[in-house]
Amino acid sequence: MAAPPAERSFDVIVVGAGIIGSCAAHAVASRGASVLLLERFDLLHQRGSSHGESRTTRPTYTRPQYPPMVRLAHRLWHEAERDAGYTVLTPTPHLDLGPRDAPAFVAAMANGGATELAPAGDASRPAWAEAFRVPEGWAAATSGPAGVIKATKAMAMFQTLAAKMGAVVRDRTEVVDVARQEGNTIVVKTSTGEEFHGGKCIITVGAWASKLVKSITGADLPVQPVHTLVCYWRVKPGHEEELTTEAGFPTFATYGEPGFYGTPSMEYPGLIKVCRNGGPPCDPDGRDWATGTGAGGIAEIVARWIDEFMPGVVDTTGGPVLRQPCMCCMTPDEDFVIDFLGGEEFGKDVVVGAGFSGHGFKMGPAVGKILAELALDGESGTAAEAGLELEHYLIGRFEGNPMGKATSH
């Protein structure tokens, strides 16, 4: 999968092989264009934001631009599964819990077409609903399409499909500069002195986006990596089968500050994933991998939430059984960055996808296809057909307003 020395010129060079970059490379290759996908670390590494056992997908968002993107992504997930011959997305119900009259909760349920759970004793109420304790003044609502995505497996699927279509994939290749050569060639330079030439370039380096863009243009891209902790907890004896995907148990999330989320018992039998959103800011090149594990840390906060909302079915004694560090890449307003790098030097020849703020993985195939079309065509026909207005994601929203369009998600 390594490029031979003579092969240095491509229609598109994608920098960063997380889920977004892998999907973008696949989308470029599916158009018949030549594409090089470069990864700084090993393929499928665990230093960024795309690794791990699972991610959730759900349609409920406070901002109306996201549910159509979720629906587009679901179609593209299923098309990729068809081409690969195996599945990475397991459908489930999705449950949202929030203060009944909170504007964010009300908006998200409306945008996602959610339906409030039937009261206890109603024949239509699912059996799994009894696993949750809903506080006074709160409501619980279900929605779809939703499910659990096998994260690392999904990333590998898109990389493999791209390679089968002719994409060249190289790992352990750190990009240190992107520049325009005389004419219309974009030159991508690596830390070892290699140079690759492309007609277009797509930058999808996750937590390293601000650093790379700063080194290329001198401009500040407001994407802040935060350290978060993925926690798996022991299911209480006698409830192991109830909380599985086979039993129809949902993915779930809460509205509040902070928010919490979880998936059914799936990847580790007898354990269930329950986490909190976000975490403290971090430097992707100098992380404390143990952040959040001590007293008062992320794991302890999640344990308190479990004891309040799922006390009968999840055991918090001794803390989580497994802890896996991860990063989310946050913009101030928690909206994505999908835009041309711009300026006199790059114009529409370099595209950036960054700042996916903890909810980008599920959108990966949609965002990747949009980035590919922006690079190849200068616009995205897929976004237009799906009713997605890309002005929500422009870098310019931060000019003169460092918080962008900051509101709650």
d(CA 309, CA 313): 10
Mean pLDDT, the chain, rounded, equals 95
Same domain assignment for residues 204 and 162: yes
Model confidence at 5, pLDDT cuts 50, 70, 90, reads very low
Would residue 315 count as lying in a domain?
yes
| 240 and 212 share one domain | no
Instruction: Decide if 28 is inside a domain.
Output: yes
Domain that holds residue 299: 100-143+224-330
pLDDT tens digits for 205-257?
999 999 999 999 999 999 999 999 999 999 999 999 999 999 999 999 999 88
339 and 387 both lie in a single domain: yes
pLDDT at res. 407: 53
DSSP symbols for 284-324: TTS--TTTT-STTSHHHHHHHHHHHHSTTTEE-TTS-SEEE
Residue 278: give its domain's CATH number: 3.30.9.10
Out of 330, 360, 386, pick the residue that ends a domain. 330
CA distance linking residue 265 with residue 223, whole number of Å: 32
- Are 117 and 230 contained in the same domain? yes
207 and 238 assigned to the same domain: no
What's the rounded Cα separation, in Å, for the pair 227 and 48? 10
pLDDT digits (tens, 9 = 90+) for 102-151: 999 999 999 999 999 999 889 999 999 999 999 999 999 999 999 999 99
Measured between alpha carbons, how far is 379 from 104 in angstroms, rounded to an integer? 31
Is residue 5 domain-resident?
Answer: no
How many Cα neighbours within 13 Å face the side chain of 134?
Answer: 21
State the amino acid at position 174 in one-letter form.
E
What pTM, to 2 d.p., does this model score? Answer: 0.95
Q: How confident is the model at residue 406 (pLDDT cuts 50, 70, 90)?
A: confident
Determine the residue type at 210: S
Looking at the DSSP bridge assignments, the partners of residue 180 are 186
Residues 168 and 314 in one domain: no
The total of structural domains in the chain comes to 2
Q: Are residues 203 and 236 in the same domain?
A: no
Residues 128 and 22 reside in one and the same domain: no
Structure-token match 């976000």, residue found: 278
Same domain? 292 vs 201: no
Last residue of a domain, one of 303, 330, 357: 330
Q: How far apart are CA 21 and CA 39, in angstroms?
A: 9
Residue 84 in any domain: the answer is: no
Q: Do the Cβ atoms of 167 and 33 come closer than 8 Å?
A: no
Is 60 contained in some domain?
no
Nearest to 114 by CA among 89, 130, 99, 94: 94
E strand map for 245-310:
251-254, 260-263, 271-276
- Determine, yes or no, domain membership for 292: yes
Same domain, 306 and 237: yes
- 113 and 167 in a common domain: no
Within this chain, do residues 177 and 277 fall inside the same structural domain, yes or no?
A: no
Q: Which residues of 125-155 are buried (b: 16+ CB within 10 A; e: fewer)?
A: ebebbebbebeeebbbbbbbbbbbbbbbebb
Q: What is the residue-wise DSSP string for 212-230?
A: HHHHHHS-----EEEEEEE
* Other beta carbons less than 10 A from residue 183's beta carbon: 5
CATH of the domain at 216: 3.50.50.60
